[in-house]
Amino acid sequence: MAVGAGGGVVGVIVVLAFALLQSGVLGGPSSGVADTGSNLSGDCRTGADANARRDCQTVATVNSVQAYWANAFASRGDQYALARAVLFSSQVDTACGAATSAVGPFYCPSDQTVYLDLGFYDALQQDFGARGGVFAETYVIAHEYGHHVQHLLGYDKRVGRDRAGPESGSVRLELQADCLAGVWAANAEATGFIEQITADDIASGLDAAAAIGDDRIQQTSGGRVDPESFTHGTSAQRQEWFTRGYRGEDISQCDTWSGQV
């Protein structure tokens, strides 16, 4: 995956500056990343920066994801509310409570913020057996922003107490977020922040999705596969729904709430 230069670089700076005031990529003492906001705004200036540095890559991805959803919402006559992305290590305090790196990246609907522990990407390879790569990391960010889209559209309210099982609301919510990540991937180049997504990039994203399927995680941990405890979906399901979004290129392809998943 190549991050755009030229006009895309200007976009990164402008959107990030706007985001620092209202929503974008922030950090601070509680996040474990000292003065992240000012460092990123000063250091992440070019596509080369984003291709060379993981944190700058995150800035470009967040800007691309939010640019796409802002346009998609506008085309539906809706307004997209920008969501902050907080980079953290070790632990972070959120409106959903304190969290540690063990939780991995997550979305908190109470403060409409995506929390990203950059160390999780190493864990994807070391603990979950993913092959890694830039787009594997990008997929994770797009998935978490998918949860923000779901929150804005009210899909997260459908889960209720149905939080475990192969057809549970929790699984449907997670698979829909995978599908929304695929929709963004199909439209990423048009945002101007991502220059090129290759077939190998998509394969890397699918590999990451498979690595964190419920069945794969249970097998890796040495336990038996227990569908009744599923909360995110199987490896095959996660790949299938990302692919549906990527091929369909539109949120209309992401109805995980009707019928079987």
Q: Above pLDDT 90, what percent of the chain?
A: 54
pLDDT of residue 49: 74
Tokens of 137: 């990391």
Burial-class residue 14 by CB neighbours within 10 Å (0-12, 13-18, 19+): exposed
pLDDT of residue 13: 27
Tokens of 201: 């990039």
Question: What are the pLDDT digits (tens) for 43-101?
Answer: 777 777 777 787 788 888 888 999 999 999 999 999 999 998 888 888 888 999 998 88
pTM: 0.86
3-state SS, one letter per residue, for 163-229: CCCCCCHHHHHHHHHHHHHHHHHHHHHHHCCEEECCHHHHHHHHHHHHHCCHHHHHHHCCCCCCHHH
Per the structure, the complete domain to which residue 136 belongs is given by 2-253
* Angstrom distances, CA of residue 104 to CA of 36, 100, 258: 19, 8, 29
**Domain-embedded: residue 80:** yes
**Domain-embedded: residue 133:** yes
Number of domains in the chain: 1
**Domain-embedded: residue 259:** no
Give every residue of the chain whose pLDDT is below 50, as ranges.
5-38
> What type of residue is 172?
R
Give the list of residues 6+ apart from residue 167 with CB closer than 8 angstroms, or none: 260, 261
pLDDT of residue 31: 28
**Domain-embedded: residue 190:** yes
Closest of 16, 14, 36 to residue 87, by C-alpha: 36
Q: What are the backbone angles phi and psi of residue 108, rounded to the nearest 5°?
A: -110, 110
Contact 60, 193 (CB under 8 A): yes
Q: Is 92 helix (H, G, I), strand (E, B) or coil?
A: strand
